[in-house]
A and B are shown apart, each in its own frame.
Chain A
Amino acid sequence: MANITLLTRDGARFEFPCAQSDYILDAAAAANLYLPAICHEGTCGACHAHVGQGHFALGQIGDGMLADGPSGGVLLCRCRPESDLVIDVPYPQADVHHQQIPRREATIVSLKPAGSSDMEVTLALTPDPALGTAADFTPGQYMEVWIPGTTICRAYSMANLPNWDGQLEFVIRLHKGGAFSTYLAERARPGDHLRVRGPLGRFMLDETSARPRCLIGGGCGLGPILSMLRHLADLQDTQPTTLIFAANREDELFDTKAIRELQSALPKLTVMITVWHPQGSWSGLTGTAADAFAATLDKAVELPDVYVCGPPALLESVKAVAKARGLSPERIFTEQVQPG
């Protein structure tokens, strides 16, 4: 049995035992320490850490996940100890949860198309004696959702507000051949029971910031952005906010009615809907999310906090614009849409 010492970014220290046959992430959970992690299979990078002292063995890890492998970079979900280890983790103590992330049962309430490529999925959490009925999450967070009867799970961000009725709404991109996409497109029916786990994730508004905000959603990445905007509307927020909703084609756009409603609830909300490759008589903005973002920054009196959710290429292009305009990386909050 090896002794594992975790050092958080803010200097907290956690110790727990780990057998040489166990992954460190699982051993931490066994010690009631729930560390940031999503996929648990070496592909998402959320449990990335750095071993400062000791020897370890790594299991199978996705290509390109560990550029810093030679200098001690590891994914804790695929790392087994071969001696006592001292590990630096890149997050603060507050991100180490001491209770298990809730696992719940849920039922599909409705399945509706959202534009040509996405589906709006509404779930109702099953009341639980220990957890109640509430859908308790922070706008921007996600849940893990399992395909019924399988061990396959995917992570989807909520598009609605946390609520006391136990409702969870997701906008999910239907990918050809994707496991969850195939389930949704071919087999899912209202009344289906699903297992879910969450809330998870750190993509959240910094509401203490007094800067203007720019919220960017690419495709189904609009989901958590809508949740954030609904939250701001609910609180009658008065900070200047820009929403950029970017789609590849105009028929992929969805929830434009909800966006109009948000505009009337948030007097300081500017909306930019942009289409990269218009197919028909699209008369709105043309270009990528990054183009619209650059245009926003050109007009900005004060640099905003940026919240962006979308596919990897969109995140990278937005970050490149931000970097070129001198935005501090600390003011850019990102969430990557996972392929479904």
Chain B
Amino acid sequence: MFCFQCEQTRRTEAGSGCTGPKGVCGKDEVTADLQDLLIYQLKGIGQYRTRLGALGRPDREADSIVLFDLFATLTNVNFDHNRFVALIAEAAKVRDRLRAAYEAACLAAGKTPELLNGPASFVPADTLPGLLAQAGAHGVGAGVEKVGADVVGLRGLLLFGLKGTAAYTHHAQVFGVMPDAVTDGIAHALDFLAGDPTDLNVMLDEALALGHCNFAAMEALDAANTGTFGTPAPTPVRITPIAGKAILVSGHDLRDLGAILEATKDTGINVYTHGELLPAHGYPKLRAHPHLAGNFGGAWQNQHNDFAAFPGPIVMTSNCMIEPQPTYRNRMFTSGPAGWPGLRHIDSGDFRLVVKAAHALPGFAASEPERTIAAGFGHHAVLGVADKVVEAVKSGALSHFFLIGGCDGATPGRNYYTEFAEAVPKDSMILTLGCAKYRFHEQEFGTVAGLPRLLDCGQCNDAYSALVIAKALAEAFKCGVNELPLSLIISWFEQKAVAVFLSLLALGVRNVRLGPTLPAFLTPALLDVLIQRFGVLPITTADADLKAALQRQAA
């Protein structure tokens, strides 16, 4: 096992990266190795899919499988080695189908099919020990002794960004939205990685192309979410429980949340969101369910205590999952790409068993006094008051925007984000997205120029909203995004944040402050490129960074 895809990866003097028998996230060696092998196969699928696309014969079924499989390998999504054995067998069949389709398409077009090597011709073993023996040669660190850490690191940046893009696209795809431009881009990136690239400049260009592709994926997801559940609008979200039976839904999947709300209609069961599903409350068609009762608990890393304290079933629809504790294992379910050995998995969208569990479990005995927080400030809501915002900036009442977004995590250095938010001047506005906000969102930030000082744009994919807002403001002020009084303070943990980061670079957004620690796959040389070429800034202290951000604006 070697894995360095997330922020919490093991860092020692000897080097960075998780090695066997278990990673920091809890992923064991067998699962990690099988994930590596699956990724290798997906590159082979990418090889054929790219060529089929060029012949005008894309394969949307294969595209969906690639999205799902890439998503399953994200941090804190799926820890079930059995599942990966099945996915590997399925991927081999998909690849064979694409190969046959490619050869037939070439024949029909009077062309000679390319003879593809590497992942395109890989045959997985039919036993688990056989697969594990094969996996060793195809890990994320493969070839480092030959090509060096910079090349392996940049391949990592591409692959991890690709995983994030695939996750967003999967969320859109479940609503039937899957733009060809995005799946073509994903297939292209897989095909590119299949060739074991070594040219750093070419790889950087590919990373930027992927950043554009991810922006399109986030745009598609925004369209899918708003198309299905309406345009998010600001709304108070209750964060204290109500007496009665209860279901907790975690992860990112709005479709599963919608299905659970339908399944619990008129049953007397209250549905609570957790973690990255908090922004769901902003969507009118989800909010219309009176039993969408509130949000329960804090960010993902506190789930052991939050889930143990929740008196009903818990559904984990994607990341971030950590090892379920015995006290709530039996009442925890996974859906979609998520999985843990021994947990019941719901693939069909049929949540009747969860409803049954909710009836059988005690629920909340009493209501706690109501407390709320605000959510639902997507780009529509913010741009709806754009006139006021522009006027406030021009009058000097509103001096600066801080986007504090990304993931939360357990490392002590993440206090930085709380300190930063607390120290932001009173005449500035804070936009949040992702679960980093759980560090400070219950605090009272008051108003600025008659607008709330803290606006939550939503899930991490709603970085799209934040970028739309930034672009619109830039247009209003007739300047570039980088000339706006806007600072981006990005906290990363897993691969979706990598994808968002690549989108920011691709769109030319400079001076992004990245923390709490820098990715282990970014070597000093790669980091230097990012600093020189894109103005990326590692975080220092909240005080110093805030001062620098405000001075930049003054300058």
Contacts and interface: CB of A to CB of B under 8 A. Distances in A.
* Physical interaction between A and B: yes
Interface of A: 94, 128-134, 136-138, 162, 164-166, 205, 207-208, 210, 231, 234-235, 237-239, 301-302
B329 interface: yes
B261 interface: no
Nearest to B131: A210
Contact of B362 (A130, A231, A234): A130
For the complex of A and B, the 8 pairs showing the least CB-CB separation, nearest first, are A164-B360, A207-B342, A207-B341, A134-B360, A132-B362, A210-B30, A132-B361, A133-B360
B330 A231 contact: no
Nearest to A234: B344
A239 B360 CA distance: 31
Interface centre among B79, B86, B331, B362 (most CB of A within 10 A): B362
Interface string B345-371: 100000001001101111101000000
Contacts of B331: 134, 136
B56 interface: no
Nearest to A231: B342
Interface in B356-397: 356-357, 359-363, 365
B129 A302 contact: yes
Contact of B82 (A94, A133, A136, A237): A237
Nearest to B341: A207
A122 B342 CA distance: 25
A205 B342 contact: yes
22 contacts: A130-B362, A130-B365, A131-B362, A133-B359, A133-B360, A134-B330, A134-B361, A138-B330, A162-B330, A164-B359, A164-B360, A164-B361, A166-B360, A208-B28, A208-B81, A231-B342, A237-B82, A238-B85, A238-B86, A239-B128, A301-B129, A302-B129
Residue of A166, A231, A237, A238 ringed by the most chain B CB atoms within 10 A:
A238
B330 A136 contact: yes
B412 interface: no
A13 to B, nearest CB: 20
Nearest to B27: A208
B110 interface: no
A132 B312 CA distance: 10
Contacts of B356: 164
A134 B357 CA distance: 8
Nearest to A165: B360
Nearest to A94: B326
Contacts of B362: 128-132
Given A128-B362, A164-B361, A210-B128, 5 more contacts: A132-B363, A134-B331, A136-B330, A137-B330, A205-B342
Contacts of A208: 28, 79, 81, 341
Contacts of B344: 234-235
Contact of A129 (B353, B357, B365): B365
B326 A138 contact: yes
A164 B357 contact: yes
Contacts of A207: 341-342
Contact of A138 (B82, B329, B360, B363): B329
A210 B81 contact: yes
A301 B127 CA distance: 11
A100 B82 CA distance: 35
A130 B364 CA distance: 9
A132 B129 contact: no
Nearest to B28: A208
Interface in B71-88: 79, 81-82, 85-86
Interface string B473-501: 00000000000000000000000000000
A226 to B, nearest CB: 17
A333 B432 CA distance: 49
A210 B83 CA distance: 12
A1 B80 CA distance: 49
B80 to A, nearest CB: 9
Contacts of B345: 235
Contacts of B128: 210, 239
Interface in B278-331: 311, 326, 329-331
A340 to B, nearest CB: 27
A166 to B, nearest CB: 7
A301 B341 CA distance: 23
A329 B344 CA distance: 29
Nearest to B22: A208
B14 to A, nearest CB: 24
A166 B362 CA distance: 13
A208 B83 CA distance: 12
Residue of A94, A138, A235 contacting most chain B CB atoms (<10 Å): A235
Contacts of B86: 238
A132 B342 contact: no
Contacts of A237: 82
Contacts of A131: 362
Contacts of B129: 301-302
Nearest to B89: A238
A235 B362 CA distance: 25
